[in-house]
Amino acid sequence: MEALFEYEWIRTTAYYSVSLLALILFLAIFETVTKYNNWQEIKKGNIAVALATGGKIFGVANIFRHSIGYSDSLLTMLGWGVLGFFLLLVGYFIFEFLTPTFKVDEEIKRDNRAVGFIAMIISVGLSYVIGASIIAR
């Protein structure tokens, strides 16, 4: 297998494929922890859900960008990506905990764009912190 990874196009395809499958899995996990259906709400034109979901997609992709750049194997890259996703998920729960005067999921479902925007920025911001920790190893 290592001999195949000497070809950049095979290595790129492998990293891309694993990252894409992980992104799909992680979005499904996010879907189960939120109190709304992301894709139904986006189809209805809910901008807040689109912002929050876009932030999650960007966050996960950014974490994998760092894990690909600083890993020497596909398995190591996946391990850093899974850890990064877990930390991003923890950040989501902390955001919910730190806003006791309202429920983040309910506000996003009601298309509260301010909350959706903050959720997006939190996902993106935390992904940079997580990515920086990956490259600092």
Give the residue extent of every domain in the chain: 4-135
Least confident of 40-44, 59-63, 133-137: 133-137
Please say whether the beta carbons of 63 and 125 come within 8 A. no
Q: How confident is the model at residue 6 (pLDDT cuts 50, 70, 90)?
A: confident
Mean pLDDT confidence for 11-17: 89
> What is the tens place of the pLDDT at every residue in 94-108?
999 999 899 999 999
**CA pair distance 47, 49, nearest whole angstrom:** 5
pTM of the model: 0.89
